[in-house]
Amino acid sequence: MTPAPKHPPQATLEILKTVHKIMTDKKCEEIAILNLEAVHSYLSFFLICTVNSAVQANAVAREIKKALKGFKLPHKETDKTGASSSSGWTLLDYGEFIIHIMTPEKREYYNLDRLWRDAERIELD
C-alpha cells in the first residue's frame, strides 16, 4: 500500500489546528496530537481525544468531517453503520491523519498514548 501524499507543513498545521479547535469547542478532554513521522513510515499524525458520551462523539465526528471537506483529504469511511460511537471509539481515517474519538474506558484500555510514546507530542494553543 502506498503512503498518503504529504501535505506542505502550513497545510498540515492548518488541519491540526482545525481539528484541535473542534475538539476544544466540543469540550473534548485529554486532547493529544502525536507526530508519528519519525517512528512509523506510513502514518503521520494521530489526533486523540476523550469524550463522555456517544452523543458527544457523534457531534465531534460530524464537525470534523464537515470542516475537513474543504481540505480535500482522502477519507476512508471506517464505520458506515454509525455503531463506532456506541462502541466507545470513533475512528476517522484521513490517510496521514488518523483521528481517534474515545470514551475514557476505551482510552485507558487501548492506551494509544503509551503505545505510541516514542512519537513527538505536538502542543497547539
Give the pLDDT score at 112.
95
Who has greater pLDDT, 23 or 12?
23
List the one residue out of 90, 91, 101, 97 whose CA is nearest residue 73.
97
- Tens of pLDDT, residue by residue over 51-90, are 999 999 999 999 999 999 988 888 876 654 455 667 899 9
pLDDT value of residue 74: 83
Q: What is the pLDDT of residue 9?
A: 75
Q: pLDDT value at position 84?
A: 63
Q: Per-residue pLDDT tens for 79-119? A: 544 556 678 999 999 988 999 999 999 999 999 999 999 99
Q: Which of 48, 92, 47 is nearest to 74 (CA)?
A: 92
Sequence spans of domains, the chain? 29-117
Give the residue with greater pLDDT, 51 vs 9.
51
Kindly report the CATH number that applies to the domain delimited by 29-117.
3.30.460.10
CA proximity to 34, closest of 17, 47, 24, 50: 47
* pLDDT value of position 48: 98
Q: Backbone phi, then psi, for 44, in 5-degree steps?
A: -115, -50
Better-scored residue on pLDDT, 4 or 40:
40
Cα–Cα distance, 82 to 85 (Å, whole number): 6
